[in-house]
Amino acid sequence: MKKLGITFIFLVLIYIQAFTQSGYTPAEENLKNREWFQDAKFGMFIHWGVYSVMAGGGDYGIAEWIMNEKQIPIKAYENLANFFNPVAFDAAEWVAAAKAAGMKYITITSKHHDGFAMFDSKVSDWDIVERTPYGKDVLRMLKEECDRQGIKLFFYHSQLDWHHPDYYPRGRTGQGYTGRPESGNWGRYIDYMNAQLTELLTNYGDIGGIWFDGMWDQWDADWQLDKTYALIHKLQPGALIGSNHHKMPYPGEDFQMFERDLPGENTMGFNQGGISELPLEMCETMNGSWGYNIKDRRFKSTKELIQTMVKAAGYGANFLLNNGPMPNGKLQPENVDTLKVIGKWLGKYGETYYGTTRGPVSPRSWGATTRRGNTVYVHIMDLPDEYVFLPELRQKIESVKLFEDQSNLKYSQNNMGTIITVPFVKRNDIDTIVVINLKE
What residue ranges bind ligand JFZ (CB under 6 A)?
A: 47, 62, 64-65, 213, 216, 244, 259, 270, 283, 290
Sign of CA dihedral 112, 114, 115, 120: negative
Q: How far is the CB of 145 from ligand JFZ (least distance, A)?
A: 23
Q: How far is the CB of 129 from ligand JFZ (least distance, A)?
A: 23
Q: How far is the CB of 182 from ligand JFZ (least distance, A)?
A: 23
In terms of Cα–Cα distance, which of 249, 240, 238 is closest to 274? 249
| Alpha-carbon separation of residue 134 from 88, 94, 326, 429 (angstroms) | 10, 18, 14, 45
In degrees, rounded to 5, the angle at the alpha carbon of residue 375 between the alpha carbons of residues 372 and 376 is 90
Identify the helix (H) or strand (E) that includes residue 200: helix 186-202
Q: Please, which residue, 295 or 426, has the CB nearer to ligand JFZ?
A: 295
Q: Please, which residue, 323 or 370, has the CB nearer to ligand JFZ?
A: 323
Q: How far is the CB of 216 from ligand JFZ (least distance, A)?
A: 4
Q: Please, which residue, 67 or 128, has the CB nearer to ligand JFZ?
A: 67
In terms of Cα–Cα distance, which of 102, 33, 149 is closest to 353? 102
Q: How far is the CB of 156 from ligand JFZ (least distance, A)?
A: 7
How many helical (H) and strand (E) elements, i.e. helices and strands, does the chain have? 12, 16
DSSP character for 426?
Answer: G
| Alpha-carbon separation of residue 81 from 15, 116, 139, 162, 196 (angstroms) | 43, 9, 16, 15, 19
| CA–CA gap between residue 103 and residue 95 (Å, rounded) | 9
**Nearest residue to the partner ligand JFZ, using Cβ:** 216
Sign of CA dihedral 259, 264, 270, 274: positive
Q: Please, which residue, 255 or 290, has the CB nearer to ligand JFZ?
A: 290
Q: Please, which residue, 65 or 84, has the CB nearer to ligand JFZ?
A: 65
Q: How far is the CB of 285 from ligand JFZ (least distance, A)?
A: 8
Rg (C-alpha) for the chain, rounded Å, is 23
Q: Please, which residue, 65 or 345, has the CB nearer to ligand JFZ?
A: 65
Q: Please, which residue, 65 or 167, has the CB nearer to ligand JFZ?
A: 65
Q: How far is the CB of 103 from ligand JFZ (least distance, A)?
A: 17
The residue count for the chain = 440
